[in-house]
Amino acid sequence: MSIEKITFGKTKETDEVLEYLLKRNGVTLGILNYGATIHKCLVETSKGVRDVIGGYDTVKEYEDNDGYQGALIGRVGNRICRGKFSIDGVDYTLAINNGENSLHGGLKGFDKYIWTVTENSEADCDKLIMTITSPHMDQGYPGKLKVTVTYTLNDDKSFSIGYEAESDRKTVLNLTNHSYFNLTGFEELNVLDHKLKLYCSNFTPVDHTLIPTGEIRPVKGTAFDFTEEKTVGRDIEAKDLQLEYAGGYDHNYVIDRTQEVSYRNTTLFKTAALTSPDDVLSLEVATDQPGVQVYCGNFLHDDIVFKGSKPQRRRSAICLETQHYPDTPNHPQFPSAYLDKGERFKTTTLFKFTSR
């Protein structure tokens, strides 16, 4: 029922980094003004408190590592092919930072911004309202863009991320959060025994650089089928070119949008349900976005150390990044990620825990 503010450290450019702690009914969220990053997420269970979101102990590690731990991603989450797209006949070229492609906003994405924070506690929730202004042509993107991200911690062991934005000229936008979940609290440094259900009957296959081919492919009968709950690892080593390209799951799923969830005057759709191997903790994700990138940490390096001196391990956690499909600006048949001049961008994702 309160928001506490503590000093976390300083960036290389000597900006002060603060951590805001939101606490309510057995859940504590720690959020940094650096990258609007979720630094920790403590959930009480019958087997003790578990910190279920990966991260680091220092600002320097957030600055030096490339895993986007817990970070807010923008302007455009995921990949844009060769960093090129056009709007109304005008070509744009973005900063390239992932092989030949642009990933997660470029060299200085929103994960590296210092956000301005306003706190607000209400009877049934605590809110952190975080804002930045990204200048015209930031990383190659057109339009001066004002972004507001609101983290809301509710009474029922859920938190939401509300994204709002407005641009002074037509642009493209795809905001998400890049939290790595491990519902054992990283006691087990592998996520393959977690159980996962996805409310998604299709996914978007990719080429070897992880750019969608444009196809929308049914998951039925393939390793990509999570429409019935199964462990993350059950089929991860199946012989499948898509799994080979990504070294495991790192794909955008098309959300079925058939099961509605009402949340504070918005309609969201059930997207994913993740359960710890010991069944003590579950996480349900719902969103109004069209897709979710399911990424199970195939690129996490073994030589990096997480919070609390825990070694980071390949496939030790899973990201459920609600989003527009990757490379949307180059696929007119995908749901549009254009934002018109003066248009109000608004989207919400809800994360709800059930602990036993």
> Which active-site residues does the annotation give?
178, 321
Q: How far is the CB of 81 from ligand GLA (least distance, A)?
A: 14
Q: How far is the CB of 323 from ligand GLA (least distance, A)?
A: 9
Structure tokens at 109: 């994405």
Give the span between the Cα atoms of 118 and 128, in whole angstroms.
6
Residue 339 and residue 173 in contact, taking contact as beta carbons nearer than 8 Å = yes
Structure tokens at 323: 């989003």
Q: How far is the CB of 98 from ligand GLA (least distance, A)?
A: 6
Which residues sit at the interface with ligand GLA, rule CB under 6 A?
67-68, 78, 103, 210, 250, 293, 295, 299, 319, 321
Indicate the residue among 58 and 299 with the shorter CB distance to ligand GLA: 299
Indicate the residue among 27 and 285 with the shorter CB distance to ligand GLA: 285
Q: For residue 66, how many C-alpha atoms fall within 13 Å in the half-sphere facing its CB?
A: 10
Indicate the residue among 67 and 105 with the shorter CB distance to ligand GLA: 67
Q: How far is the CB of 18 from ligand GLA (least distance, A)?
A: 25
The burial of 114, by beta-carbon neighbours within 10 Å (0-12 exposed, 13-18 middle, 19 or more buried), is given as middle
Indicate the residue among 5 and 208 with the shorter CB distance to ligand GLA: 208
Q: How far is the CB of 141 from ligand GLA (least distance, A)?
A: 18
Q: Which of 87, 154, 72, 162 is nearest to 121 (CA)?
A: 154
Residue 329 and residue 283 in contact, taking contact as beta carbons nearer than 8 Å = no
Q: How far is the CB of 67 from ligand GLA (least distance, A)?
A: 5
Indicate the residue among 129 and 192 with the shorter CB distance to ligand GLA: 192
Indicate the residue among 146 and 247 with the shorter CB distance to ligand GLA: 247
Q: How far is the CB of 2 from ligand GLA (least distance, A)?
A: 33
Strand duo 345-355 + 202-204: pairing: unpaired
Structure tokens at 119: 């706190």
Q: Which residues touch 296 (CB under 8 Å, ≥6 apart)?
A: 191, 192, 232, 236, 248, 249, 250, 315, 317, 318, 319
Residue 328 and residue 174 in contact, taking contact as beta carbons nearer than 8 Å = yes
Indicate the residue among 41 and 210 with the shorter CB distance to ligand GLA: 210
Q: Which residues touch 140 (CB under 8 Å, ≥6 apart)?
A: 83, 92, 93, 94, 95, 102, 106
Number of continuous H segments (helices) and E segments (strands) in the chain? 2, 29
Give the span between the Cα atoms of 30 and 19, in whole angstroms.
6
Report DSSP state, residue 328.
Answer: G
